[in-house]
Structure formats: C-alpha cells, structure tokens
Amino acid sequence: MRFIPYETFRFTCDLKMEDVVSKLNDYTEPLKLFKIGVGNKVFHGQVHQDHFKIYRQISYRNSFLPQIKGRMTQKENKTIIDVSMKLHPFVIAFMTLWFSGLISACMSFFLSPWKPFFFVPIIMLIFGILLCTLPFWYEVKKSKNELFKIFSVYMSSESDGNAQN
C-alpha cells in the first residue's frame, strides 16, 4: 500500500474495442443529478468510444471513493485498457488544506516549549493520513476486482493485471 492515493494499471482483453465498450456499458449506469438508492449495476458514470470515467456504486458515503478513468486502444483483435484510479479533485484540495494546517500546527509545537497538548496535531496528522489512505485503497481493491470480473472471461493469457507504474 502506498501513501499517495493513486493507482494505475493496464490489462489486455481478447475483444474488439466496440465489444469492450458494450460490455462496460452493460455494467455501468449513467450519471444522475440526484441519486436515490443504489442502482442495479456495478458502476455509474460515462463510457465513450475510447475512454471512460466511472465510479463503483456503493450504498454508503465514502468521500475517498476513487474516480476510475480508462483509455482503450485497439491493437489487432485485442484491446489494451489503461486504467487510473485517483481521488476526486475537491477531496484532494480539502485534504491538502487540512494537512497544511496540521503541519503548521506541528511545526509551531516543535518550536515552542513542551506543552501537554504537544501530541494532538501529530495524532491528528496520523489520523488524517489513515483516513485518506485506508478507505481509498479498500475501494481500489474492490473496484479493480469488479473490473477484472467483468473482463475475466476475455482476459488474454499475457495480461497479468498487475500495476504497471
């Protein structure tokens, strides 16, 4: 597990790009302005001719749910899918602001004489790192498994599905 919440990987399918798009559309619900309940498909988002931007459908709130972006390239009768998973930009901006405040609080405590509340900003910093990374990597694992499950029958033998950074 890395501390920076970002994951990229590549896999190859034994399908033409149109079939990959069709298969992904079968498992993806279009984005709605107001979402009531959980849909009946695995993902929601947008799937286009050569790329997609999707999220896993969940029945709970998780601000650290990864945005799944993919780009598809046709190579002979196979399709190469490059996937990246990252946090929503608003979450990144908020966490950057929050961490900046905590780091400045930690620095001010280091520069002043010892006080009983010395460890509070350090504990909050550790909590923030765990709060940001653990839910993200949990959701990355589930989303990756769902993507591999969708294309498992069609995965070529040369594709190992491992991250290629």
Looking at the domain assignment, is residue 160 inside a domain?
Answer: no
Take residue 132 and report the two structure tokens written for it.
């940001």
47 or 121, greater pLDDT: 47
Percent of the chain with pLDDT over 70: 87
Looking at the domain assignment, is residue 78 inside a domain?
Answer: yes
Range of the domain at 132: 6-154
Looking at the domain assignment, is residue 162 inside a domain?
Answer: no
In 30-139, DSSP assigns E strands to 43-47, 51-56, 67-75, 78-86
Looking at the domain assignment, is residue 1 inside a domain?
Answer: no
Whether 70 contacts 20, CB under 8 Å = no
**What is the rounded CA–CA span in Å between residue 150 and residue 65?**
19
Looking at the domain assignment, is residue 163 inside a domain?
Answer: no
Q: What is the residue-averaged pLDDT of the chain? A: 85
**What's the number of domains the chain is made of?**
1
Looking at the domain assignment, is residue 111 inside a domain?
Answer: yes
CA distances from residue 54 to 37, 66, 135 in whole angstroms, order as listed: 17, 9, 17
Convert the pLDDT of each residue in 87-140 to its tens digit: 999 999 999 999 999 888 888 877 877 777 778 888 888 999 999 999 999 999
Placement of tokens 């399709």 in the chain: 79
Count of positions (residues) in the chain: 165
Q: Residue 152 gets which letter from DSSP? A: G
Looking at the domain assignment, is residue 115 inside a domain?
Answer: yes
> What confidence category does residue 156 fall into, taking pLDDT thresholds of 50, 70 and 90?
very low
Looking at the domain assignment, is residue 98 inside a domain?
Answer: yes
pLDDT at res. 1? 57
83 torsion bin: left (phi>0), alpha (psi -120 to 50), beta (else): beta
Take residue 37 and report the two structure tokens written for it.
């309940």
